[in-house]
Amino acid sequence: MEYNVPIFLLTLTNEQIYTQNMSALTFDKASLGNLEYSLQREMLSTDRIGGYMSTTIVCCNTRKYHGLIVAPIDQSDRTYVLLSSLDETIVQHDQSFNLALHRFKGVYEPRGHKYITDFEYTPTPTITYRVGGVILKKELLWIHKRTQLMIRYTLVDAHSETKLRLRPFLAFRDKHALTHANMEADGHSYPAVNGVKCRMYDSFPWLYMQTSKADAEFVPAPDWYYNFEYLQDLARGYDGYEDLLTTGYFECELKKGESIIFSASLDEMQSAKEIEEKFEQSIARRTHKIDFISCLEHAARQFVIRRGGRTEVIKGYPWHGPQGRQTFVSLPGITLEQNHKEDCIDALDTLVGEMQDGMFVGSASAREAVDAPLWFFWTLQRLEKHIGAKEVWKRYGAAMKGILENYRKGIDGRIVMNENGLIWATSEGFPVSWMDSVIDGKAVTPRNGYQVEVQALWYNAVMYALELAKTNKDKEFVKAWEGVPELTKASFNALFPLKEGYLADYIGEEGPNTFIRPNMVIACGLPYKMLSSEMILDTLRTIRQHLLTPRGLRTLSPRNPLYRGSQEGTPAERDFAGKNGSVWPWMLSFYVAAAFDINGDRYLPTAEEILEYFEEDIQSYGIGSICELYDADPPYASRGAISQAWSVSAVLDIHAMIRERKGEEKPAPKKAAKAPKAEKKTTEKKAPAKKAAPKKKETKK
């Protein structure tokens, strides 16, 4: 339904707009040697089975979560940093030029970033170095469905004999931990085809490090390098110092135009030819991420992992794992909007297949997140467009009925549908809603009682289940539930609308909480709504005035004394700000959906403007993706995980709404193809080559 309401009521004010005019995938080549620029830009590649490569665009690790091979080694959710980094050194006329960049206590050494002249993101991260007359190109390729990193080095130009030295640094530790020099670590290297295999501890698998050149020599030289410093961890209030082990280095001679491929894998490659073929086949399948949407679609595919017969959604990179609520919220945007319905179905089937007594388990359970199972219904509403209502009820009807029945009869004495048709949820030990930050064992935002978004999701779930049941002639279910929605709606409208013109955030034993928070937008943006058009409009006005920013919705009005505009500070300060001010993109799609309901096609220019605000983000902070959250005050600095599933999903959802309004067809599932010609606005201009910096010998720290 559309209403005749002035469009300006739902747009950003001038004060809320933070101007940016940069195009997708445009990097300032002249600034690559500026560490304030390059260390703030992080790249990510995943293997689609739970592993990833992540570091900055100049390959200097600034987090303990960074590494060239970060992967699971068993069927658990734990992920380990195996290969932390790889130093490249050019040797010419008996002089060494280390191209690497590391931060030790208070100093960068070596300082190889001064040799970088170019960085490209597509089809795979590629760095070009220039040392005097030597030009070396490095292409980093993370292999899909294998725990394997391949790096191809090509000597583009050289005027005298040139050697390349490659020194790997090993960690072999949980990605949430740090390692330090110890006597238990095995510093030996053992022979493998065209290389060596290493394993610091017996509990780990072998890491095979091989090259595509048979004459590449591995020189054993085991040693610890001490006190690598991770600035991002220190800034976030965590320990940020680590020791790394090197077992030696590879060395080979390269001629102009010649390439060598370095492979690090949990599986041994059997020949140089196999290494070369694997690289060529894999890079040929890479899609070319030449614009904003293609970047986000690529980022979306990275969240879906298949391992051990399960399909899961990673909540965010680099430190998050799978989580039930974010799986349901993210799936439509990261799968269905690319016509990847199989990924959506397989992820849902994984969770449904583990249900017990009509209940999801783990983080998808109402016991851990009262709203999580209700998001399942919203996901199915989106899936219905792809498989039909009959198939949805056939596959998931029993699960839907089981979930609703458990809410009605009560869960653990804490969660229950009361006689008024609303869901009451409390917990003393942990927060019950998505606002789940805890400081010193206490919830930052407890929200015990009737949470506004839970009621909206509950009504939407019951209404949708009834719709499917009627279509599929499930008379028993219809009879048992048909009176619930009106009861829920009447109770909601009696309790939640405030005289100030917005909705209470929750109703507790002490009465309504009147803090202006974004959770009420869910009640405005779901398919089934309990609110009148006038109440939706009033609520959106309040959201626009207090919460709306170019990056999403604030978690609290700036007029509230608890408001915090920055994510800087200790972990406790960041956790507090995260739910008392910080901007989250994921709810923005519900705001846009409600605005389209109000304004119809007149809202198109504003929706398109919202998309443009995110374009800068895919080339700063997490390259090619959208981060977890932002500061609440301008300039809305990127914070949290560099690539977050429901953030990417929300932006792709907004893009889908725009496309639907314009009558554009949804594109077919994308497969690897030759690179199309980039439009002029996304073409990267080549910066003039820098002069070679003074020569400096490789330094051991």
Report phi then psi at 284, rounded to 5: -70, -25
Q: What is the mean pLDDT of residues 446-471?
A: 97
Quick check: 407 pLDDT over 50? yes
**Token code pair at residue 200:** 């610091």
Q: What is the predicted pLDDT for the residue at 95? A: 94
In this structure, are 136 and 246 located in the same domain? yes
Q: What is the predicted pLDDT for the residue at 408? A: 97
Q: What is the mean pLDDT of residues 314-325?
A: 96
Q: What is the predicted pLDDT for the residue at 11? A: 60
In this structure, are 14 and 65 located in the same domain? no
pLDDT tens per residue across span 112-132: 999 999 999 989 999 999 999
Q: What is the predicted pLDDT for the residue at 428? A: 82
Q: What is the mean pLDDT of residues 242-261?
A: 97
In this structure, are 78 and 60 located in the same domain? yes
Directed axis angle between helix 324-334 and helix 372-387, to 10°? 20
In this structure, are 69 and 197 located in the same domain? yes
Q: Residue 635, Cβ neighbours under 10 Å: how many?
A: 12
Confidence class for position 615, pLDDT limits 50, 70, 90: confident
Instruction: Give this prediction's pTM.
Output: 0.91
- List Cα–Cα distances, 38 to 32, 85, 119, 527, in angstroms: 6, 17, 10, 43
H-type helices in 367-483, by residue range?
372-387, 389-409, 452-471, 475-481
Confidence class for position 9, pLDDT limits 50, 70, 90: low
Q: Name every residue whose Cβ is closer than 8 Å to that of residue 68 and which is 6 or more positions away in sequence.
A: 53, 55, 83, 84, 85, 86, 140, 149, 264
Confirm whether 134 is domain-assigned. Answer: yes
Confirm whether 330 is domain-assigned. Answer: no
Quick check: 691 pLDDT over 50? no
Confirm whether 537 is domain-assigned. Answer: no
In this structure, are 248 and 104 located in the same domain? yes
In this structure, are 175 and 297 located in the same domain? no
Quick check: 3 pLDDT over 80? no
Mean of all residue pLDDT scores within the chain: 91
Q: Residue 608, Cβ neighbours under 10 Å: how many?
A: 14
Which is more confident, 428 or 508?
A: 508
The rounded distance, in Å, linking the Cα atoms of 559 and 136 is: 54
In this structure, are 19 and 158 located in the same domain? no
**Token code pair at residue 504:** 């209470």
Q: Residue 215, Cβ neighbours under 10 Å: how many?
A: 10
Q: What is the mean pLDDT of residues 671-696?
A: 39
pLDDT tens per residue across span 102-113: 999 999 999 999
The rounded distance, in Å, linking the Cα atoms of 481 and 352 is: 22
- List Cα–Cα distances, 574 to 351, 432, 503, 582, 626, in angstroms: 31, 20, 26, 9, 19
Confirm whether 260 is domain-assigned. Answer: yes
The rounded distance, in Å, linking the Cα atoms of 554 and 580 is: 8
In this structure, are 1 and 113 located in the same domain? no
In this structure, are 144 and 180 located in the same domain? yes
Range of the domain at 17: 1-25+289-305+547-664
In this structure, are 250 and 235 located in the same domain? yes
Contact call for residues 219 and 251 (beta carbons, < 8 A): yes
- List Cα–Cα distances, 27 to 38, 152, 418, in angstroms: 10, 22, 56
pLDDT tens per residue across span 361-388: 999 999 999 999 999 999 999 999 999 9
Quick check: 674 pLDDT over 80? no
Q: Residue 172, Cβ neighbours under 10 Å: how many?
A: 22
Confirm whether 586 is domain-assigned. Answer: yes
Considering only 15-19, 172-176, 272-276, 404-408, which range has the smallest mean pLDDT? Answer: 15-19
In this structure, are 5 and 111 located in the same domain? no
Confirm whether 415 is domain-assigned. Answer: no
Confirm whether 13 is domain-assigned. Answer: yes
Confirm whether 140 is domain-assigned. Answer: yes
- List Cα–Cα distances, 346 to 340, 343, 495, in angstroms: 10, 5, 39
Q: Which helix (H) or strand (E) holds 111?
A: strand 107-111
What CATH number corresponds to the domain at position 43? 2.70.98
The rounded distance, in Å, linking the Cα atoms of 456 and 439 is: 28
**Total of domains in the chain:** 2
The pLDDT > 90 percentage for the chain reads 85
Among 315, 389, 308, 401, which Cα is nearest to 352's?
401
pLDDT tens per residue across span 554-599: 999 999 999 999 999 999 999 999 999 999 999 999 999 999 999 9
Confidence class for position 669, pLDDT limits 50, 70, 90: low
In this structure, are 3 and 66 located in the same domain? no
